[in-house]
Amino acid sequence: MKIGFEFDDKYKQIEIHICNSEKTKEVIGLRELLEDILDKRVTVHKNQEAKTLPTHEIIRIFSENKKVFLRTLDDTYEVRDRLYSLEEKLDNRSFVRISNSEIVNISQIEKLDMSYSGTIKMCMKNGDTTFVSRRYVSRIKEVLSREGQ
């Protein structure tokens, strides 16, 4: 198998080309795997309308007043799934639970403030701030050290 990369400003989004002399099970499996990884979506609701959002647009998912909400750069939506269900669906390389009531997109973390005793204040790229509960501090440190490698 040959894998190549090309970086050019002409590309506005990621393009993946799979080339082979025939359509084999391996080629079909690769396509399905890539689609599954790259095109995960979550159904959200707002103003009596439902739509699906790609997971890379999610900044954070949190529960409040027994409802689950999802924040993107542009808006806040209600999600009808439970947090534990969303946690199972989302890629654990991109999303991490930071408390019993919140999951964040790792790539959307702008900075961490560890000056608080026993907890971490997390500042997101959209300006939201949230806190990592004590129970999840070691997990966050582990995930972030893995990301830094």
The answer to whether 124 and 104 have CB atoms below 8 angstroms apart is: yes
pLDDT tens for each residue of 45-87? 999 999 988 888 899 999 999 999 999 998 999 999 999 999 9
Q: How many domains would you assign to the chain?
A: 1
Q: Which amino acid is at 19?
A: C
Q: Residue 51: which domain range?
A: 40-148
Q: 25 lies in a domain?
A: no
Query: Is pLDDT at 104 greater than 90 in this prediction?
Result: yes
Q: 77 lies in a domain?
A: yes
pLDDT tens for each residue of 3-38? 888 888 888 777 888 889 999 999 888 887 777 666
Residue of 66, 65, 71 whose CA lies nearest to 44: 71
Q: Specify the CATH number for the domain of residue 49.
A: 2.40.50.1020
Query: Across the chain, what does the average pLDDT equal?
Result: 87
Q: 6 lies in a domain?
A: no
